[in-house]
Amino acid sequence: MEIAVRFLGTRPRTRWELDRRLRRAAAPPEVIASTLDRLATMGYVDDMAFARWWAEQRDRHAPRGRRMVEAELRQHGVPREVLEELRGGELAEPALDGEALPGTERERASAALDRHLRGRPLPADLQARQRIGAFLMRRGFDPETVRSTIRTAAAESTPGGSTAEPDGLQDEGP
């Protein structure tokens, strides 16, 4: 129990992470099971709460697409049932401190783009926009979300709001 509590002291953990840590400490399987059950009963181990916390942290500090967040959650041992339940609703709940977090995939992509540009205007040349599009896709955003985010940013950055320049991403044709 002491090892598990110390491990939980730095950040929330999934049941799988705690199980792995206790196995590494050579705890007997019965002790691991009883410790995890006791911590779950006390509310310290909850995979759904962990998944919501993780998604909120991502939205706050390093916005990622839904696919990327789900992949990260799988790496932390979040069960498939929890991921399916999250898919039914929003990945992250509203922040407790009143700070507005991006709710939709498009808002997350826009937040990631704003963070990446750090106040600079969106580049006008095609190659630079393609690189920005690739950056957003590496962050787990789907191509259509990336295209629309870049188009919106281009419209906001040009006087008059028209996008005379291409958005930097080619539509996939037949």
pLDDT in tens, 86-125: 887 654 444 444 455 567 888 889 889 988 888 888 888 8
What confidence score (pLDDT) does residue 90 get? 52
| Cβ neighbourhood burial of 119 (10 Å; 0-12, 13-18, 19+) | exposed
The model's confidence at residue 3, banded by pLDDT at 50, 70 and 90, is very high
In a domain, 172, yes or no: no
Domain count, the chain: 3
Which residues constitute the domain of residue 83? 47-88
Contact 109, 63 (CB under 8 A): yes
Compute the distance between CA of residue 136 and CA of residue 132 in angstroms, rounded to an integer: 6
Residues 148 and 114 in one domain: yes
Helix (H, G, I), strand (E, B) or coil at 139: coil
In a domain, 166, yes or no: no
Looking at every residue in the chain, the average pLDDT score rounds to: 84
| Prediction pTM value | 0.70
Residues 150 and 117 in one domain: yes
- Mean pLDDT, rounded, for 33-56: 94
| Cβ neighbourhood burial of 138 (10 Å; 0-12, 13-18, 19+) | exposed
CATH number at residue 149: 1.10.10
